[in-house]
Amino acid sequence: MRKISVYLFSLISFGILSVATSASGQELKIGFVNTDRVFKEAAPALRSQKKLQEEFAPRDQEIKGVNAQATEVKAKLEKDGLTMAESEKRALESELARLSREIQRLQREFREELNLRKQEELKVILRIANEEIDKIAAEEKYDLILQEAVYRSDRLDITDKVIKALEDD
């Protein structure tokens, strides 16, 4: 059903654009921007990615440290578990369970906070990119610039111009 509605929307949009173009007698100038590429390749996106890596590196190291502790406890249990006293074995098992819960908690918090920060950074990048797209549209007299499309021709793609404009800022 969704594909049909997207198809109908595309057909209707194309029909409206065709009528608008033929009625005014002028060619309609349309562009397309691949936002995924902008988020991956543009200078602000690369700076943002580096910033996030630096910001979250200490937390990543903390998780790795707790993981290493859990690995040590598990190795000791496997190596000496048969020969150690039952109370010592239970204490190590309890410690391993505590470390596992700690790892899960740290990883969950890490993912949640990283996702929130990524969303914040993406909003900033999108705002900056949209400003550059507006400038390009005005300078080159585009009638319409799309950021989402089911299909587009490569000749409509202005993503490289946007990425270059973002590098100059």
139: containing domain = 2-168
CATH number at residue 96: 3.30.910.20
Domains contained in the chain, number: 1
Q: Is the pTM of this model over 0.85?
A: no
Q: CB–CB of 78/59 below 8 Å?
A: no
Give the CA dihedral 29, 32, 12, 28, nearest 10 degrees: 0
Q: What is the pLDDT of residues 55-69, one digit of tens each?
A: 999 999 999 999 999
Question: Strand pairing partners for 31?
Answer: 145
Q: What is the pLDDT of residues 125-139, one digit of tens each?
A: 999 999 999 999 999
Q: What is the pLDDT of residues 80-107, one digit of tens each?
A: 878 888 999 999 999 999 999 999 999 9
Q: CB–CB of 130/42 below 8 Å?
A: no
CA 126 to centroid of chain Cα atoms: 12
pLDDT score recorded for residue 62: 97
Least confident stretch, 1-10, 67-76, 101-110: 1-10
Burial of 8 (0-12, 13-18, 19+ CB in 10 A): exposed
